[in-house]
């Protein structure tokens, strides 16, 4: 009979020796770098074309996002409908996404259809036409969607907190508006497309059970395009932080609202900073997983919220440390107070060994699980490569988890968890 | 083809094992055959609240989460109208920790008053976050009540109202547990870097001595055939008028399920679907439109919903939707259109099966439907759907007398 009062023996995951499967790298005739992870049992592929065409490079708000969105809404030989139908006929998913520095086209498909799909992706990169009526419809529907989102306190809070951290003109701080949509002109899209896609800088990330001829296929369709010839414009974007740091900001968005969106955030350096990896451990302990201090106190003890999280923003140039939750309208202030209490505890009291071991084991188990499968592995590599890091970043992050001490955590808490250095926003 | 082994314990617990030695992880998935449909109408939202309480400590183990995290594991759970599913993933070497934790909470909860008190509040905040403090968040409360008159699908998993959750008592919690959380009412799936022999030994060791309890016999009132159109209009503080309409469809095991699923793809799946192309792109009546179904175990609903372009009248929008439905009822779909939605389904299944966690929960869900082996015949059932199946079923579903329509007006 099992003794249920004693936990079964475990191997502490902190002792694991974790490895990041190396990528295979090839270069197309025109210099496009292709990073590939060949793994997995299913006959499926994920191919991602990453362009340096994020909002970092636009001259006017919404140009990068609109260009990216309309890539698949018409080419010289196909309508938006025909393009969608082509990918859908082969059961493929063609997505695009616009971020700050980069924008992407992502294809997920069964291996057996790849040769029907690549030529059309090529067409999107060489021959998109940005039809006027597609742009008009895009503006109308996005303005409508925006009007719905602006009713949500979390959406509004996310916009404001980024603005405080980076400034309304910075790529990380600016946001959409009806006026910004209205101001977008077709010629601007065509010019942006020509510079940042057709003649832009592109990197390819491939993962799945990779067919032997894939590289030849990629070279055939993308290896002779006029990409990667020109240097990218520098794009100087000074950060302009708002002056209301350290004092409570309360905004009213919906008089009938029953919850408030709480955002507490401070500027934080990027991944190249020597504290970044250690702070990832401190963040996990503080608010980065279900067993964190914030979750245990504010959800599991007080019941103020369905969930509370903290994280370091995923930016290349400069990050921010963010605490977010939606809490009952009456308990928002109490929630903020508890967040600061948890900061204080971390500053003043050493984390005990038992709790630290739990956090370390959890992080290691979580990374082990996340290294499972080709799409996850290429995702890690993409992050490393786009942030101009190398594999030592991965191994250093493992080392940070394994070796960090309670004293180091306390030191970091004193350095970074000071309420007066945080923006504190509640939107109801 | 997903391979698995299956055995049962003397207390009625069904155990399925899916070996995959390409991953270093193990997944333990415990599905309980209880959902919001098993609640009484005066105590709705309870199955879901109960799911939260399953993390509040069990009879011998004060915390579920801490030991799992210490072993490098992660976990979560969800409740639907039909079932409650708990899953965790951890390094395979530490699999026994999951057996210990899952078996102890199947043996008995601690029934902590503090946990009930806190989780009542947490669930109320979840209710507010997703259904009150959100534009259009109340739609499916209204639509379910319109469409279902007797079947307990008439309320949502989160519950009918906050007060049902606020009033939950510790006695309710105990009764619910011993009625529904017995081994005979559960399916255990273990997947990943483990062997069947290992799972047999661990299952016997940790779950074997849990009393079988009484088998719960479900006896739900089935929804009578709807005989007349039902309509409802509401006004709310939202920026845009919205259109919602739903129709009754067969159960998950009904032979029409596959054609019904493909109909929703033809009408509403993606950028080349009919409703999007006709009503968003060409006629410019909707700013977005979707078509989907609920996939419920008992007879379910197929829904179309969309937000209107400012200035468009709801009557005109509905008329345009009806024109598309008339088309699918009167004209045969083309070979290539049918081929397209079948191809999409094939690839959706392939991508879903990539993660061992998804495979484990699929095995559990198909076992709940009657036989885990069903998951390996799904694709061929989609392949068998014919052009005339689509037309015939469209005529059966899209009958005005079978419909429920909601006009959601902006203030």
pLDDT score at B96: 98
Half-sphere exposure of B106 (CA within 13 A, CB side): 31
Contact criterion met (CB < 8 Å) for A303 and B117: yes
Distance from the Cα of residue A106 to its chain's centroid: 15
Residues with Cβ within 8 Å of B255's Cβ and at least 6 positions away in sequence, in order, are none
- Give the E-state strand segments of B271-357 in sequence order: 286-293, 301-308
pLDDT over 70, % of chain A: 100
Which pLDDT belongs to residue B318? 98
Strand segments, DSSP code E, in B317-379 are: none
The pLDDT tens digits for A294-337 are 999 999 999 999 999 999 999 999 999 999 999 999 999 999 99
Which pLDDT value is given to residue A112? 96
The number of C-beta contacts closer than 8 angstroms across A and B is 215
Q: Which two tokens stand for residue B408?
A: 């959601």
CA distance B296 to chain A (A): 25
Task: Provide the shortest C-alpha distance from residue A300 to chain B (in Å).
Answer: 7
Q: Break chain B into its structural domains and give their ranges.
A: 5-207, 230-410
Distance CA A323, CA A310 (A): 4
State yes or no: pLDDT of A236 exceeds 90.
Answer: no
Is B331 a residue of the active site?
A: no
Question: pLDDT digit string (tens) for B352-385?
Answer: 988 999 999 999 999 999 999 999 999 999 999 9
**What is the pLDDT of chain B when averaged over all its residues?**
96
Task: Flag whether pLDDT at B78 surpasses 90.
Answer: yes
Q: Which of A407, A406, A401, A308 is nearest to A361 (CA)?
A: A401
Same fold, A24-222 and A248-427: yes
pLDDT above 70: percentage of residues in chain B: 100
| Mean pLDDT over the full length of chain A | 97
Per-residue pLDDT tens digits for B128-146 = 999 999 999 999 999 999 9
Q: Which pLDDT score, from 0 to 100, does residue B368 have? A: 98
Q: How far is residue B378 from each of residues A138, B297, B382, measured CA to CA in Å?
A: 37, 16, 6
* pLDDT tens-digit readout, A57-94: 999 999 999 999 999 999 999 999 999 999 999 999 99
Q: What is the pLDDT of residue B160?
A: 95
Quick one: tokens of A240?
A: 């302009």
Question: For position B269, what pLDDT does the model report?
Answer: 83
Q: Residues A308, A319: contact at Cβ < 8 Å?
A: no
The contacts of residue A277 (CB under 8 Å, 6+ apart) are A396, A397, A400
Same fold, B5-207 and B230-410: yes
CATH number of B5-207: 3.30.830.10
pLDDT mean over B171-200: 96
**Statement: residue A1 has pLDDT above 80:** no
Contacts of A288 in chain B (CB under 8 A): none
Interface list for A 102-141 with B (CB within 8 A): 108-110, 137, 140-141
- Give SS3 for B85: strand
Residue A354: closest CA among chain B residues belongs to which residue? B70
CATH fold, domain A24-222, is Cytochrome Bc1 Complex; Chain A, domain 1 (3.30.830)
Architecture (CATH level 2) of domain A248-427? 2-Layer Sandwich (3.30)
- B342 vs chain A: nearest CA distance in angstroms? 8
Q: What is the pLDDT of residue B10?
A: 97
- Assess contact for B318 and B286: CB atoms under 8 A: no
Q: B230-410 has which fold?
A: Cytochrome Bc1 Complex; Chain A, domain 1 (3.30.830)
Domains of chain A: which residue ranges? 24-222, 248-427
Looking at residue A89, its pLDDT comes to 97
B77-101 mean pLDDT = 98
Q: Which of A2, A90, A365 sits opposite B205 (nearest CB)?
A: A2
Residue A2 has pLDDT above 90, yes or no: no
Q: What is the pLDDT of residues A37-62, one digit of tens each?
A: 999 888 999 999 999 999 999 999 99
- Say yes or no for a CB contact (<8 Å) between A148 and B239: yes
> Looking at this predicted complex, what is its ipTM?
0.94
Q: Report the half-sphere exposure of A33 (CA within 13 A, side-chain side).
A: 11
pLDDT per position as a tens digit, A148-191: 999 999 999 999 999 999 999 999 999 999 999 999 999 999 99
Residue A230 pLDDT greater than 90, yes or no: no
């Amino acid at each position: 009979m099992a003794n249920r009062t004693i936990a079964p023996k475990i191997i502490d995951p902190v002792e694991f020796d974790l490895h990041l499967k190396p990528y295979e790298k090839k270069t197309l005739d025109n210099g496009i770098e292709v990073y590939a992870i060949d793994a997995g049992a299913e006959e499926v592929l994920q191919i991602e074309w990453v362009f340096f065409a994020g909002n970092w490079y636009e001259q006017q708000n919404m140009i990068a996002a609109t260009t990216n969105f309309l890539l698949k809404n018409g080419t010289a030989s196909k309508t938006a409908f025909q393009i969608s139908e082509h990918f859908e006929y082969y059961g493929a998913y063609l997505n695009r996404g616009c971020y700050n520095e980069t924008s992407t086209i992502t294809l997920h498909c069964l291996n057996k259809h790849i040769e029907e799909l690549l030529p059309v992706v090529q067409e999107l990169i060489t021959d998109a036409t940005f039809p006027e009526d597609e742009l008009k419809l895009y503006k109308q529907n996005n303005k409508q969607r925006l009007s719905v989102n602006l009713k949500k306190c979390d959406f509004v809070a996310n916009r404001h907190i980024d603005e405080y951290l980076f400034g309304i003109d910075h790529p990380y701080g600016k946001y959409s508006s009806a006026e910004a949509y209205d101001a977008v002109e077709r010629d601007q899209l065509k010019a942006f497309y020509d510079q940042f896609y057709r003649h832009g800088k592109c990197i390819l990330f491939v993962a799945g059970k990779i067919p032997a001829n894939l590289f030849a296929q990629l070279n055939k369709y993308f290896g002779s395009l006029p990409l990667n010839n020109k240097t990218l414009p520098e794009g100087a974007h000074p950060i302009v932080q708002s002056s209301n740091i350290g004092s409570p900001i309360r905004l009213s968005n919906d008089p009938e609202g029953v919850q408030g969106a709480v955002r507490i955030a401070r500027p934080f350096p990027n991944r190249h900073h020597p504290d970044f990896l250690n702070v990832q451990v401190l963040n996990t302990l503080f608010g980065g997983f279900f067993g964190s201090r914030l979750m245990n106190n504010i959800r599991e003890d007080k019941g103020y919220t369905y969930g509370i999280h903290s994280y370091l923003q995923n930016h290349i140039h400069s990050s921010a440390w963010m605490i977010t939750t939606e809490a009952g309208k009456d308990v928002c202030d109490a929630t903020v107070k508890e967040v600061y209490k948890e900061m204080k505890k971390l500053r003043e009291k050493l984390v005990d060994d038992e709790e630290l071991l739990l956090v370390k084991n959890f992080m290691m188990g979580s990374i082990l699980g996340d290294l499972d499968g080709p799409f996850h592995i290429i995702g890690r590599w993409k992050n490393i490569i786009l942030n101009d890091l190398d594999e030592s970043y991965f191994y250093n992050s493992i080392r940070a988890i394994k070796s960090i001490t309670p004293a180091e955590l306390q030191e970091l808490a004193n350095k970074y968890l000071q309420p007066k250095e945080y923006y504190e926003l509640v939107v109801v | 083809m997903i391979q698995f082994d299956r055995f049962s314990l003397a207390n009625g617990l069904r155990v399925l094992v899916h070996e995959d030695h390409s991953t270093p992880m193990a997944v333990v998935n415990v599905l309980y055959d209880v959902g919001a449909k098993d609640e009484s109408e005066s105590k709705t939202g309870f199955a879901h609240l109960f799911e939260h309480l399953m993390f509040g400590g069990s009879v011998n183990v004060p915390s579920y989460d801490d030991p799992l995290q210490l072993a490098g594991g992660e976990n979560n759970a969800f409740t639907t109208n039909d079932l409650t599913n708990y899953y965790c993933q951890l390094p395979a070497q530490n699999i026994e920790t999951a057996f210990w934790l899952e078996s102890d909470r199947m043996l008995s909860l601690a029934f902590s008053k503090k946990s009930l008190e806190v989780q009542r509040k947490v669930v109320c905040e979840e209710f507010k976050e997703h259904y009150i403090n959100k534009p259009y968040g109340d739609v499916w409360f209204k639509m379910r009540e319109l469409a279902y008159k007797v079947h307990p699908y008439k309320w949502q998993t989160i519950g009918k109202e906050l007060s049902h959750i606020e009033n939950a008592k510790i006695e309710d919690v105990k009764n619910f547990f011993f009625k529904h959380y017995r081994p005979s009412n559960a399916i255990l799936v273990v997947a990943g870097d483990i062997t069947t022999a290992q799972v047999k030994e661990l299952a016997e060791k940790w779950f074997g001595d849990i009393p079988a309890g009484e088998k719960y016999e479900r006896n739900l009132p089935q929804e009578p055939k709807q005989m007349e159109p039902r309509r409802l209009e509401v006004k709310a503080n939202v920026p845009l008028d919205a259109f919602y309409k739903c129709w009754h469809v067969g159960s998950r095991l009904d032979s029409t399920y596959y054609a019904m699923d493909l109909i929703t793809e033809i009408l509403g799946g993606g950028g080349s679907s009919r409703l999007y192309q006709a009503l968003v792109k060409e006629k410019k009546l909707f700013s977005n439109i979707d078509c989907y179904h609920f996939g419920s175990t008992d007879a379910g609903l197929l829904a179309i919903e969309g937000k209107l372009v400012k200035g468009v009248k709801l009557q005109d929008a509905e008329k345009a939707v009806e024109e598309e439905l008339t088309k699918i009822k009167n004209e045969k779909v083309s070979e290539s259109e049918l081929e397209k939605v079948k191809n999409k389904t094939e690839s959706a299944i392939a991508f879903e099966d990539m993660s061992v966690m998804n495979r484990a929960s699929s095995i559990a869900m198909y076992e709940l439907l009657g036989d885990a082996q069903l998951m390996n015949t799904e694709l061929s059932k989609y392949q068998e759907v014919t052009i005339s199946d689509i037309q015939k079923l469209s005529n059966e579903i899209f009958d005005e007398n079978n419909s429920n329509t909601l006009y959601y007006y902006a203030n």
